[in-house]
């Protein structure tokens, strides 16, 4: 007699999740921005301008800023890059932000985080003109996002990209139950607020949450942004759910020329037979963050016309 392996009841052997192609979707957004910038400059308006401020020698931060600068160049957006030494003082940064606020060629300002420990990031971010806060993390924009009846100048780039990816699978999330794992000020909290503004029912989970797998199993949408490799398992996922993996973890790998490979916060392979759709790492949320930054920068320029 043939012995048949019995799968857990949450596995649907006939289902394979759609892998959400963040690169392709981000390229579509960037193509639209490039076309809009070209139309803008052809009409005699100045190109949008993005100023980036990077303090110190953090290698990932330099990579991020370099990618943003290259993307600006490709889309016709002017890039103003300010690379400052590790020992830059709070006063120097405050003066620089003031100069960028008053510069009419600069429509968007981005301070690359993290900053060196001797600097106070919250205070510095609060000095940016909210109309130029293309990262969407100024206290004014954060506060406006939290109030459903108000409209922030900008929505944070990663949460905006997450919502865009979800809408590529499910255009209307009204009434769906969403679980956001992670409560950071940059991703978790604004993502939860954005989902709520789009009429989802949202639960925010974190390290103190009791019985996290049980909570996840009832969700139609699961977003995980905690920086913990393979944390969310297939057994946590409701069949047919949309799973957005924001995590980027560097795993040592001698077979890779870089000495590591990237993985997310989900156990991708175990979720694949269960979910309706899932983002890969890399190639999921990451490309959308830069695309939404470019879109925010273009929108900033429109507001200063």
The Cα-based distances of 92 to 99, 123, 126, 184 in angstroms read: 11, 13, 15, 28
182 known member of a binding site: yes
Short-list 281, 288, 274, CA closest to 245: 281
Greatest Cα-to-Cα distance within the chain, rounded to the nearest angstrom: 80
The DSSP code for 275 is -
Q: Quick one: tokens of 288?
A: 């959308």
227 known member of a binding site: no
Write down the catalytic residue from 30, 68, 132, 276.
68
215 known member of a binding site: no
Q: Quick one: tokens of 160?
A: 């905006």
Write down the catalytic residue from 112, 129, 265, 295.
112
Where in 12-129 does DSSP place strands (E)?
A: 18-19, 49-55, 78-84, 108-111
Catalytic-residue membership of 112: yes
Write down the catalytic residue from 30, 132, 133, 135.
135
* Beta bridge mates, 180: 204, 223
d(CA 99, CA 128): 10
d(CA 164, CA 295): 12
Catalytic-residue membership of 135: yes
- Distance of alpha carbon 6 from its chain centroid, rounded? 39
Contacts of 103 (CB under 8 A, 6+ apart): 49, 51, 80
- The SS3 of residue 221 is strand
Annotated binding site for NADP(+): 182-184, 248
Residues of each annotated binding site: 182-184, 248
Active-site residue list: 68, 112, 135
């Amino acid at each position: 007699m043939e012995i048949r392996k019995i799968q857990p009841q949450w596995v649907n052997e006939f289902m394979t999740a759609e892998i959400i192609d963040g690169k392709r979707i981000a390229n579509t957004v960037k193509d639209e921005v490039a076309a809009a910038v070209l139309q803008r400059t052809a009409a005699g308006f100045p190109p949008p301008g993005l100023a980036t401020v990077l303090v110190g020698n953090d290698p990932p931060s330099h990579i991020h800023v370099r990618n943003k600068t290259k993307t600006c160049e490709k889309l016709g957006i002017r890039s103003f890059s300010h690379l400052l030494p590790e020992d830059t003082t709070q006063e120097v940064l405050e003066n620089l932000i003031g100069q960028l606020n008053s510069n009419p060629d600069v429509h968007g300002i981005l301070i690359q985080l993290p900053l060196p420990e001797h600097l106070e990031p919250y205070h510095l971010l609060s000095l940016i003109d909210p109309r130029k806060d293309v990262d969407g993390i100024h206290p004014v924009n954060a506060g406006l996002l939290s109030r459903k009846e108000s409209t922030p100048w900008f929505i944070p780039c990663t949460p905006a990209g997450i919502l865009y990816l979800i809408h590529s699978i499910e255009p209307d999330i009204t009434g769906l139950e969403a679980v956001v794992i992670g409560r950071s000020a940059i991703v978790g909290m604004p993502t939860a607020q954005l989902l709520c503004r789009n009429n989802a029912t949202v639960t925010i989970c974190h390290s103190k949450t009791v019985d996290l797998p049980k909570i996840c199993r009832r969700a139609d949408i699961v977003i995980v942004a905690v920086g913990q490799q393979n944390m969310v398992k297939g057994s946590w996922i409701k069949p047919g759910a949309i799973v957005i993996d924001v995590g980027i973890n560097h795993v040592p790998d001698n077979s890779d020329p870089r000495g590591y490979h990237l993985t997310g916060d989900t156990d991708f392979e175990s979720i694949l037979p269960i979910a309706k759709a899932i983002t890969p790492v890399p190639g999921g949320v990451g490309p959308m963050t830069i695309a939404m930054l470019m879109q925010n920068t273009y929108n900033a320029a429109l507001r200063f016309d």
